[in-house]
Structure 1
Amino acid sequence: MATVVFWEKPGCQGNAKQKEILCSSGHTLEVRDLLTEPWDAARLALFFGERPVAEWFNPAHPRIKSGELTPVDFDRGEALQLMVAEPLFIVRPLMQVGEERLAGFDLAQVHNWIGLKLESVGERDPRNCPCVTRGSAPQQS
């Protein structure tokens, strides 16, 4: 099994569920705080690869949920600059195994990457914070 460096927002219920799935699948986690990590644009870009810029954003961020900011309006450079300045905009979690990196928790993608025991997933989509899936306002996103 893999040793996964896992950047989270401490206290996030969605990240807690994701960690639970990874651990129950036999992976070891090295958990780090996404909000206090000293990010720079070049390092952060490695997690996103060729994915569309709009997928880089945390959909639970209040300024995105309110429509004040629209992720499709950003180019790569602008998005990275914003995320370095305010890491709450980054989709969670960020994960790294060796030199391979991944942003977000798409089940199929994580399973194909490092393997998951899918029976440990449960009913709730682990990609989303529970406060987003219920439709209520996020708490301290």
Structure 2
Amino acid sequence: MADVIFYEKPGCGGNARQKALLQQAGHRVIARDLLSEPWTPETLRPFFGDRPVADWFNRAAPAVKGGEVVPEAMDEVAALAAMVERPLLIRRPLMQVGERRDCGFETERVEAWIGLGGIGPAERKMEGCLRVDMPPCPAPKSGGD
């Protein structure tokens, strides 16, 4: 099984479920705080691979939901600059196994990459916040959305 460096928003229930699924599949999860990591455009860019820039964003970030940040209107340079300044804009989790990096938790994609042992909840959404009709997760302690 794999050692997965897992960049998360501390306290996020969705990230907790994702980590638990990885551990159930036999992977070792090395959790890191996405919000306190000293990101640069050069360290962040490899996580997005060939995905369109708009797919790099956390759609639940207040700045995105409120229309202040419009992912479809941003180019790569502007998107990376915004994310370095405001890490809550980053689609999470960011994961790294060896030299390969990825963003988000699409169960089919993770299964093909490192395997989930067939235990992925096909009927349940594993990416994004499941807190429907509830107050948002607690705000980060500093510098974020």
Q: Same fold (TM over 0.5)?
A: yes
Deviation at 1:130, TM superposition (A): 1.1
Q: Tell me whether 1:99 sits opposite 2:84 in the alignment.
A: no
Residue number in structure 1 paired with 2:2 = 2
SS in 2 for 1:130: coil
Structure 2 runs not aligned, ≥5 long: 140-144
Residue number in structure 1 paired with 2:88 = 88
Deviation at 1:120, TM superposition (A): 4.8
Partner Cα distance (1:2, 1:17) in 2: 18
Residue number in structure 1 paired with 2:59 = 59
SS in 2 for 1:7: strand
Residue number in structure 2 paired with 1:138 = 136
- Where in structure 1 do 4 or more consecutive aligned residues deviate above 6 Å? none
Once the two structures are superposed, the pairs formed by residues 12-51 of structure 1 within 5 Å of their partners are 12-51=12-51
Between Structure 1 and Structure 2, which shows a larger proportion of helix residues? 1
Structure 1 runs not aligned, ≥5 long: none
Note closer, same or farther for the CA distance 1:135–1:79 as it changes in structure 2 (3 Å cut).
farther
Instruction: Give, as a single letter, the amino acid of the residue that structure 1 aligns with 2:31.
Output: V
- Contact 1:59–1:91 (CA<8 Å) still a contact in 2? yes
Partner Cα distance (2:40, 2:58) in 1: 18
Deviation at 1:136, TM superposition (A): 4.5
Partner Cα distance (1:118, 1:72) in 2: 34
Report the aligned-residue RMSD.
1.5
Note closer, same or farther for the CA distance 1:56–1:137 as it changes in structure 2 (3 Å cut).
farther
Residue number in structure 1 paired with 2:128 = 128
Q: What per-residue deviation string (whole Å, max 9, x for no partner) do you get for residues 57-90 of structure 1?
A: 0011011112232110100000000000110000
Deviation at 1:49, TM superposition (A): 1.0
Of all paired residues, the percent bearing the same amino acid is 50
Partner Cα distance (2:73, 2:121) in 1: 33
